[in-house]
Structure 1
Amino acid sequence: MTEDKHIIRTSDRGTFRRCRQLWNFTSKMRMNLEYVPGIEPLNFGIAYHEAMEVYYDPILWDEDTNGALRIPAAEASFMASMNSWKKNQKASNSWNDQTAERWDELVKMGLGMMRHYWSWAKEADKHYRPVKTEIEFEVPIPVPDGMILPRGFQSIEGHLYYMAKPVVYQGRIDVIVQDLRTDRLWIMDHKTAAQFGESLAHLDLDPQCGSYAWAASKMLGLDIAGVIYSEHRKKVPKQPEVLKSGALSKNKAQSTTAEIYKQAVLDAGLYLPDYEDFIEVLRNEGQQYFRRTHVNRNGAELDSVEANILYEAIDMLNEPYIYPSPSMWNCRGCAFATPCLADQDGSGAAWSLFDSGKYAPRATQVEGDQG
């Protein structure tokens, strides 16, 4: 909680549902702590997002059509963020041979992913142009007329207040793009993941991007058609396998792409027609490294998003009970596992949180929910 307002973030909503103990440690409304050495997936995701922000810079987009300026600047931004993470790890005495090796692997993977993406995106982006990038928003939460609120809450000029302070919804949108075929505006949200999920049904109810579309309409007055989920797989395609005969392997499980495979055939001076059928198999059935999914958001859905944000904000602020929700999924890789256990076994979480040097108050700027 800040001095003048109560801040709700998308990450708050997700963490509150997942584990109230973790929410209590990390939320701006509660202890507002972060794990100082950094969490590998989060820090990598932040660095990757910062590179995407530079690449989709609207100012350079129309002039720098081939990416001669944007691409090196994006890669430099990625490296600056990764170096900042390294610096923080060293400052917290978390840097060692193992973390150094892993850092090198992540840098190599990140640059490889981006260089593959620059090539892939030339075709994928041909009907889109960025309008705004990394839009920080802060939106007051509306209260319907006549709604009876719990003790301590008020509706002032139609917006939610708690203990005489406004309650706002805060976050950051990756990029808003315009579809040049229809002139409609879309939120494009970049996500990095080890694997792509088989089912996409959950995207229709995804609270993060639904709330971003709602916030863009409220704060910027934009008519947002929906969300483009831009997924980036944490894997870099390789050159095709070469058989002892000098021919290229036609194993479709190998980590390559149709474009890379075709170029390898040409570079090796092999007879292209012998490989065209397999290249088509790779194009249609090969491994995916990037995937975009369009999810429309209509007015009724945004009304539901607004109502859910209001209800969850009230739940969070209305003196909720705090308890852990242990499970293999929730606890695996949790940066707050040690203080959580200390709080439960009676030894107390205070030392782990405040004397270990591993936890500190979060930065005060608007925070996004990077992935």
Structure 2
Amino acid sequence: MDALPAALSDALAVYYYPGTWDWPHELKQSLVHKAAERALNDARVPDRLPTATALLDTYDAWARTVDDFAPVKIDHDVQGLVPDPRDPERGLMTADGSPVIYACRIDLLAVDAADEYWVVRHLIVEQWRDLDALIRDEAAIAACWAWEQEYLSMEIVGTIHNELCIAGAPEPPATGPTSGASSRVRQNEPSGGGRAIPQHRRVSARTARTGETNRVEQCTAGLLRRTHIRRSRAEIGAVGMLIGAEAIDMTSEPAIYPTFAPHCQTCEFSGPCRAQTEGTDPEPLLARRFRRRPADDPRKPRLGQSTWGFGRGAAPPTW
């Protein structure tokens, strides 16, 4: 398996690291190169480093002309309690009473000049993805839903599909990397400090999107293609129900029917099985001779071993 895509993904995480977004370009790019080198060395393919470096430098030259957001979080794990489609006001539970949790990792959460939040997916490809496939990207939409479940006061406006094509020779922009870079969004605002989660939306940014109706915006810049897809409230909200319906099929206990075999003579459940075959109710026998296995009691963690999310505004768990 080619280790180059994974190395490029690791390098992009460093490229969009929020803490270094406003650093001098040469210093930040050296860290990107080191991330790719480390990933390729770990995969024992250091000979791919020149290719990775050329691709990353070309990506940087093009990205600086089209990046219109600032990074907030990278490689961030989020999770959400899956709703029960049969009772949307309740969370879905398994047969033993455990909650059904949807978890995913988000490549990048970004904020644009209008203080709107986007879920960004890095796609290392050999040819551009079909637009319809990007619109129907269930994992991307589910990531929007999961983020809003983790951070209840936030609203994700859509997804950005960041495609890096590794086929062909990388060619930088003919006019230099700084052309068109005026749309770049800084991580730190003059008011002080970096962007927080959630961030107060500035008055000047609230009017920045007035009159904008395009759902899909796509631009190609060399080996980079950037697709912005705005997601409606209904589209993101429906994902939870879809996940719940699939989870019910995955977690439902299978129907077990009496199937007689030689080992039935020594089976401890031969009595209830025989009662069911004879058409009588096996529940009294089960209640008299059997007991349910108690749920595992989770042990209390050691001091400093467990924390709880600050974005949810929840109190610490009770053990």
TM exceeding 0.5: yes
Aligned equivalent of 1:69: 27
Q: State the alpha-carbon separation in 2 of the partners of residues 190 and 116 from structure 1.
A: 16
Greater RCO between the two (CA within 8 Å, min separation 6)? 1
Aligned equivalent of 1:119: 61
Aligned equivalent of 1:210: 141
User: How many pairs align?
Assistant: 211
Identity of aligned residues (%): 27
Aligned equivalent of 2:174: 259
Q: State the alpha-carbon separation in 2 of the partners of residues 77 and 120 from structure 1.
A: 20
Aligned equivalent of 2:117: 185
Aligned equivalent of 2:16: 56
Q: State the alpha-carbon separation in 2 of the partners of residues 290 and 234 from structure 1.
A: 9
Q: What are the equivalent positions in structure 2 for 1:79-228 lying under 5 Å apart?
A: 79-86=37-44, 104=47, 106-125=48-67, 127-144=68-85, 146=87, 158-180=91-113, 182-197=114-129, 199-221=130-152, 222-228=154-160
TM-score (norm. length: structure 1): 0.52
Q: What RMSD over aligned residues (CA atoms) do the two structures have, in Å?
A: 2.7
In the TM superposition, residue 166 of structure 1 has moved relative to its aligned partner by 2.2
Aligned equivalent of 1:18: none
1:145, 1:158 within 8 Å by CA — same for their partners in 2? no
Q: State the alpha-carbon separation in 1 of the partners of residues 224 and 101 from structure 2.
A: 34
2:61, 2:172 within 8 Å by CA — same for their partners in 1? no
- Structure ID, larger Rg: 2
Listed as ranges, the gaps of 5+ residues in structure 1 are 1-38, 87-99, 148-154, 239-255, 262-285, 321-371
Distance 1:169 1:45, change over 3 A: farther
Q: State the alpha-carbon separation in 2 of the partners of residues 165 and 113 from structure 1.
A: 46
- The SS at the match of 2:43 is helix
* Alignment partner of 1:234 out of 156, 162, 166: 166
* Residue type at the aligned position of 1:296: R
Deviations 1:329-361 (A, max 9, x none): xxxxxxxxxxxxxxxxxxxxxxxxxxxxxxxxx
Higher share of residues assigned helix: 1
Distance 1:257 1:309, change over 3 A: same
Deviations 1:294-338 (A, max 9, x none): 111111001221111111222223368xxxxxxxxxxxxxxxxxx
* Residue type at the aligned position of 2:77: E
* Residue type at the aligned position of 2:4: F
Listed as ranges, the gaps of 5+ residues in structure 2 are 177-219, 255-319
In the TM superposition, residue 292 of structure 1 has moved relative to its aligned partner by 0.5
